[in-house]
Structure 1
Amino acid sequence: MDIDLALHENEPPIPTELTAYESWERSNHLSLMLIKSHLSKSIRGSILDCDKVADYMKSVEEQFFRSDKALASTLMKKLSGIRFNNSKSVREHIMEMRDIATQLRSLEVEIS
């Protein structure tokens, strides 16, 4: 269906090939609709509205790059403040710490 055509190819010039441009424009419009329909309203409200799907994807990427920094900060605070308090087993405590460390590694945060 060429829905992702606008993501893979740049916008063709209008006067040269009308069918190629119409195909790209349809793909661009469908891709934007699909992406916007799958984002939650809270996320959609914080992203700049763009006419081209490639620009919209860059805006989404920039938004999540900033939220990754906030998540990394939150996880670091959680990891440094976690204490064993006998409410759960030692194994559960270690598994929780490993889970936080794995999340930090996926965000490319070095832990010595």
Structure 2
Amino acid sequence: MANSVASVSANVNSIPIINGTNFKDWKENIEIILGCIDLDLALRTEQPPTPMASSTPEDKRDHEKWDHSNRMSIMIIKRDIPEVFRGTVSEDITTAKEFLAEIEKRFAKKR
């Protein structure tokens, strides 16, 4: 367990802080690291429906796994964004995929 925590920490620490010139590399690093530590589910798939009392155990498990991926992904993404920009993303954005899209709007170079 300690080895896996150290590995995750080392991987996350290797992501550069985003600035006005490195968005493409930063995003690629985020996607690779989240994939390597198996937290990219929320970036790859849509949010499953909120489980109900009648939901199957598999539906509940899938939602829990997606929710964990989403929460951890947002934390990792926020960690590598200057604090001044974190507050510019709307509180209404609750998924890692949407959060990443908002950051892209602010940092990606216009072509």
Normalising by the residue count of structure 2, what TM-score does the alignment of the two structures yield?
0.54
Of residues 52-61 and 12-21 in structure 1, the stretch that sits farther from structure 2 once superposed is 12-21
**What is the CA–CA distance in structure 1 between the aligned matches of 2:38 and 2:49, rounded to whole Å?**
18
Q: CA RMSD in A?
A: 1.7
Stretches of 4+ moved more than 2 A in 1?
A: 45-49
Alignment correspondent of 1:8: 44
Bigger RCO of structures 1 and 2 (CA < 8 A, at least 6 apart): 2
> What is the one-letter code of the residue matched to 2:79?
S
Per-residue deviation, 1:58: 1.2
Query: Which whole-Å deviations, capped at 9, do the CAs of 1:39-88 have from their partners, x for residues lacking one?
Result: 111222322232111111111111124xx35xxxxxxxxxxxxxxxxxxx
Contact 1:47–1:63 (8 Å) recurs in 2: no
Q: Report percent identity of matched pairs.
A: 31
Q: Flag structure 1 segments of 5+ consecutive residues without an equivalent.
A: 70-107
**Correspondence for 1:45 among 68, 80, 87:** 87
Aligned partner (choices 62, 76, 80) of residue 20 of structure 1: 62
Bigger Rg, which one: 1
AA aligned to 1:4 is D
Structure 2 residue identity aligned to 1:60: I
Which structure is higher in helix share? 1
TM-score by length of 1: 0.53
2:78 is matched with 36
Deviation (angstroms), 1:20: 0.4
Listed as ranges, the gaps of 5+ residues in structure 2 are 1-36
